[in-house]
């Protein structure tokens, strides 16, 4: 259990630690001189590859055992982190981050499968709450440790942090993690795995491309999105026809499983997008250091831990349906709370907002993951874990892409009137981002540019916060409407060996 939680913390740490380094990476001297588009890809490439390789990671865990796949994922992640630390340019960093995502895609379903298989039905909600709390630790450590490292070392140190943790996890996997006895020996569905990788990869790539400079109407964006959807549809057809599918798509006919995956996707859609623009608000508009911004952002971790730890007891009293609905509403309202922030807001307001946001997320993740895993048979825990885990990177990648696009478009509209006095090339740079506009404030005609960039960014953040809140609140509607007391096909045939007791299930 401890190895699984530590390994999962490392995976989620790599999701968050780069956010605090974006300002540094954008600098030509101290960083790589990365453009806003390159920074977006450096963030998204991890999630893109993680999402694309999630289903294969789960299938490999079912086929070869969770322990072996965990070790392989740790080795891949460690090697890619080393490459990222010494990347000579933004393109190399993007590729290395993708390699880290591939390692994470092997680790996450393996850790969730280990926790599910090696706990009893009664102990599983608490065990999954501890596993889910790794996200809180990552949210806390990412900005805080990343900020501390950037204060004293070069930007590559945020990736070298992975290596000692990988070493500890490898030692723990060898000494503490038991070999998983397969319930049944399954074949490896290579055509299905290839279709899932290509389909999810193209879909997330199209979303990231659409959220960048290319735009949503760009032919390359539209082709990628359409091709991804076609390949995923073909994947569904192929898997339904196979006697031993890598992912039994009939799992999505189980309302608890399908609803849980969609709600988690929406939740992390909002969370990732919010963290993306929160970092720029703190360091750009408020002028905090990387370490100061990290200290503020870590307050969300306390809320996540609180939500995770109280959720098992609350679900026994109020049922999973209403606890997860309340958590989703709380998260959505805090996302919308950004409309009340301005350039003079006390940091304590954001600390309280992030704490409440974390509590909302914590109330959802563990109970919803428990519901999803309870609906599937033991020999498909790896595949089911891959779906539950894929909701995070897919939602995160889509959130950064879509909400980043809304943020950028709103910023450009708001800042355009203030750029009339700038020469053409400078005007184009200032239109790209608030960071670029601030760097031009000292040139002729740019005296008022700093204040204009801050005003435009705040307006853009407020617009984006409204959309973030509305989409997240849509998840609460899904929970209330569809997370109803039904037995899965597996529970109906085999009892409740992996599910909550029947009496509690009927009260959802």
Residue 415 resides in a domain: yes
Mean pLDDT of 248-263: 78
Q: What rounded mean pLDDT belongs to the chain?
A: 78
256: left (phi over 0), alpha (psi -120 to 50) or beta: alpha
Residue 504 belongs to some domain of the structure: no
- Do 399 and 338 sit in the same domain of this protein? yes
What's the average model confidence in pLDDT over 175-192? 63
Q: Which of 217-226, 422-431, 451-460 has the lowest mean pLDDT?
A: 422-431
Are 224 and 265 contained in the same domain? no
| pLDDT at res. 134 | 65
Domain with 155, as residue range(s), is 1-183
* 3-class secondary-structure state, position 205: helix
- Whether residue 261 lies inside any domain: the answer is yes
Are 436 and 465 part of one and the same domain?
yes
Asked whether residue 276 carries a pLDDT value surpassing 80, the answer given is no
Whether the per-residue pLDDT at 486 is higher than 70: the answer is: no
Residues 172 and 222 in one domain: no
Mean pLDDT of the region 432-443: 71
Q: Does the pLDDT value for residue 465 go beyond 80?
A: yes
Q: What are the angstrom distances between the C-alpha of 422 and each of 31, 431, 459?
A: 26, 11, 21
pLDDT at 485 over 60: no
Q: CA–CA separation, 128 vs 432, rounded Å?
A: 42
The answer on 62 and 206 residing in a single domain is no
Question: Does 108 share its domain with 175?
Answer: yes
CA distance linking residue 75 with residue 86, whole number of Å: 18
Verify that 109 and 206 share a domain, yes or no: no
Q: 28 and 102: one domain?
A: yes
The answer to whether position 505 is within a domain reads no
pLDDT tens, residue by residue, 127-152: 766 776 666 666 666 666 777 777 77
Residues 286-296: what's their mean pLDDT?
77
Task: List the CATH number of the domain containing 79.
Answer: 1.20.1250.20
Query: Which of 161, 183, 205 is at the close of a domain?
Result: 183
Indicate if 3 and 140 belong to the same structural domain: yes
Considering the domain architecture, whether residues 226 and 267 belong to the same structural domain is answered as: no
Asked, for residue 116, whether it belongs to a domain, the answer is: yes
Tell me if 12 is assigned to some domain. Answer: yes
Domain end (from 183, 199, 229): 183
Sign of CA dihedral 467, 469, 475, 479: negative
Domain match, 397 and 309 both: yes
Residue 262 above 80 pLDDT? yes
6 plus 147 within the same structural domain: yes
> Can you tell me the distance from the alpha carbon of 121 to that of 324, in angstroms, rounded to the nearest whole number?
20
Query: What's the pLDDT band for 204 if we cut at 50, 70, 90?
Result: confident
Q: How many domains does the chain have?
A: 3
User: Among residues 183, 207, 222, which one ends one of the domains?
Assistant: 183
247 belongs to a structural domain: no
- Helix-, strand-, coil-residue percentages of the chain, each rounded to 5: 80, 0, 20
Q: Is residue 492 part of a domain?
A: no
Residue 327 confidence (pLDDT): 93
């Amino acid at each position: 259990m401890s190895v699984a939680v530590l390994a999962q913390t490392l995976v989620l740490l790599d999701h968050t630690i780069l956010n605090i380094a974006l300002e540094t990476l954008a600098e030509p001297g101290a960083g790589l001189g990365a453009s806003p588009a390159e920074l977006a890809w450096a963030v998204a490439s991890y999630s893109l590859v993680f999402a694309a390789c999630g289903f294969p990671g789960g299938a490999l865990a079912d086929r070869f055992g969770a322990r072996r796949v965990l070790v392989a994922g740790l080795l891949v992640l460690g090697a890619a982190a080393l490459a990222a630390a010494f990347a000579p340019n933004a393109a190399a960093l993007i590729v290395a981050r993708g390699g880290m995502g591939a390692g994470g895609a092997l680790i996450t379903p393996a850790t969730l499968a280990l926790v599910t298989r090696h706990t009893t039905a009664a102990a599983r909600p608490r065990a999954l709450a501890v596993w889910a709390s790794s996200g809180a630790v990552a949210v806390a450590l990412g900005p805080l440790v990343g900020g501390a490292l950037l204060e004293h070392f070069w930007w590559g140190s945020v990736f070298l942090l992975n290596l000692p943790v990988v070493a500890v996890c490898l030692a723990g996997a060898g000494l503490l993690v038991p070999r998983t006895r397969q319930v049944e020996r399954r074949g490896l569905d290579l055509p299905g795995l290839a279709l899932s990788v290509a389909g999810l990869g193209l879909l997330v790539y199209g979303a990231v491309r659409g959220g960048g400079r290319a735009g949503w109407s760009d032919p390359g964006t539209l082709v990628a999105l359409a091709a991804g959807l076609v390949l995923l549809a073909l994947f569904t057809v192929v898997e339904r026809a196979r006697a031993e599918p890598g992912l039994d798509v009939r799992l999505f006919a189980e309302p608890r499983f399908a609803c849980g995956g969609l709600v988690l996707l929406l939740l992390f859609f909002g969370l990732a997008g919010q963290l993306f623009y929160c970092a720029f608000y703190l360091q750009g508009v408020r002028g905090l250091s990387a370490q100061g911004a990290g200290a503020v952002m870590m307050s969300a971790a306390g809320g996540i831990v609180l939500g995770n730890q109280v959720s098992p007891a609350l679900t026994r009293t109020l049922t999973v349906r209403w606890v997860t609905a309340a958590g989703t509403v709380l998260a959505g309202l805090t996302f919308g709370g950004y409309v009340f922030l301005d350039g003079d807001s006390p940091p304590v307001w954001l600390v309280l907002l992030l704490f409440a946001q974390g509590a909302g997320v914590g109330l959802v993740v563990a109970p919803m993951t428990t519901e999803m895993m309870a609906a599937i048979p033991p020999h498909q825990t790896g595949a089911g874990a891959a779906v539950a885990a894929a909701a995070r990177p897919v939602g995160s990648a889509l959130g950064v892409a879509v909400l980043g696009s809304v943020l950028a478009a709103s910023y450009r509209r708001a800042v355009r009137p203030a750029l009339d006095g700038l020469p053409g090339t400078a005007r184009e740079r200032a239109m790209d981002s608030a960071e670029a506009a601030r760097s031009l404030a000292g040139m002729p005609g740019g005296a008022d540019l700093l204040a204009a960039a801050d005003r435009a960014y705040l307006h853009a953040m407020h617009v984006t916060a409204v959309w973030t809140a509305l989409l997240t609140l849509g998840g609460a509607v899904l929970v209330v409407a569809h997370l109803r007391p039904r037995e899965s096909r597996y529970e109906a045939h085999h009892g409740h060996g992996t599910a909550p007791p029947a009496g509690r299930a009927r009260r959802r």
